[in-house]
Every structure is written in structure tokens, then in C-alpha cells.
Amino acid sequence: NAGVTQTPKFQVLKTGQSMTLQCAQDMNHNSMYWYRQDPGMGLRLIYYSASEGTTDKGEVPNGYNVSRLNKREFSLRLESAAPSQTSVYFCASKGLAGFAYEQYFGPGTRLTVT
């Protein structure tokens, strides 16, 4: 199993450009998540999807849109990138590990907006 995969690993955008971050998981998990990590801020939840066909806002959704394409894939779109969106983006999925749930994280996408 590859677990949670993310593409691309690195991206540089100019202000106003758009792009989509891709995430896929092969663990048959229902729930998927997008976080951003900024220095000194920890990770903050952008959007999540409890199951295929549903999405909900997290703590910092402004400037982002998401699509739960199918059970495996959950994409994050920046329609008009801003320097404040320079960050490392992590995708995660949630599933049972033993008798409890835990989240499994992808390797991250490092995005720079100039």
C-alpha cells in the first residue's frame, strides 16, 4: 500500500495564478482532510470530507475550494493564489488502527506564492 500520496511535492506560483493540489489514499478510508502548516502555528484544518460526496469547512477555509472526486481522491484548489497561502500543505485520511481511529498523513506539498 502506498498510503496517502500527494502531488506535486513542490510548487511555485505567482500571485493570482490558480492550481490544484492532488491527494489520493489506497486504504479505503471514508474521511479525508487538508491541513496547512506554517512556522510557529502548528497544523490548521482547511477542509475535510467525512465521506464521498460531502465536504465541510475547517478552521481556515478562505481562499480554498475542495472536491471529493471519489472515495480515493480529495483535491484542494487555490483559485487565485496569494502570498499568504505560502505554506506546506498536508493531506490525511482517517481509518481504524486496532480499536481506534487515527489519521494517516501524506508527505506534503511545499507551496510558494510570489
Partner 1 sequence: AQSVTQLGSHVSVSEGALVLLRCNYSSSVPPYLFWYVQYPNQGLQLLLKYTTGATLVKGINGFEAEFKKSETSFHLTKPSAHMSDAAEYFCAVSAGGADGLTFGKGTHLIIQP
Under the binding rule (CB under 8 A), the answer on residue 18 touching partner 1 is: no
Smallest distance from partner 1 to CB 16, Å: 28
At residue 85, φ and ψ (nearest 5 deg) are: -95, 5
Instruction: Assess 61 for contact with partner 1 (CB under 8 A).
Output: no
Comparison of 15 and 51: residue with beta carbon closer to partner 1: 51
Report how far residue 61's alpha carbon sits from residue 27's, in angstroms, rounded to the nearest whole number. 26
Instruction: Please identify which residue in 45, 72, 75, 86 interacts with partner 1, judged by CB under 8 A.
Output: 45
Task: Provide the β-strand partners of residue 21.
Answer: 76
Q: Which of 7, 28, 41, 65 binds partner 1 (CB under 8 A)?
A: 41
Cα–Cα distance, 112 to 42 (Å, whole number): 18
